[in-house]
Structure 1
Amino acid sequence: MKTPLTDKDGEVRELTDDDVSRMRPLKEALPEALQRSIGQRGHQRRPAKVKTSIRLSPEVVEHFRAEGHGWQSRIDQALKQYIQEHGEGKSRP
């Protein structure tokens, strides 16, 4: 008899050698409808953002982090709004 992998609370127990020996490759376990290129991203709906490193003043980071999850996206939105209000491509002397 197989021992369940999870308890009544949904906690996963430690796998045994017997558990591992019964495992199948993912391509065999997944239904065909779900088998696209495993490990590759699908079509992106929006352009990917550019990964960068930026140094911000502590008060800016504290302000946006205080609003909770998504603080980096809110900084991105604030910068986009700045571009709209001050003109795209205009440089300061």
Structure 2
Amino acid sequence: MKKTKPVADGFREGRGYTRADWEEVDDNPEMTEAEIAELRPFREVFPDLAEAIDRKLGRPKSETPKKAISLRLDAEVIERFKATGDGWQSRMNEALRKAVGL
């Protein structure tokens, strides 16, 4: 069963806004079908800004991305690597690369 959020049906105290705030936006008209039809995507209206935002989000793409796998290892091996602190997975990767001659 899909849960839906209740629709605000009127002013309620204690929700972070005053009655004056509620009444100020209460008279905003709904958009017409014609106005909705004129809307354009943000990227189309502000392409430079959209590109700048994209550059700031997340890490740059790696030229050699890692691949997630599921692997069963002895508990002692995992604990030994974990005991070396943060970055233990990268050190485990380096040890495996060395073991296979990479």
TM range (shorter): 0.3 to 0.5
Q: Which has the larger radius of gyration?
A: 2
Could you say which structure has the higher helix fraction? Answer: 2
TM-score by length of 2: 0.44
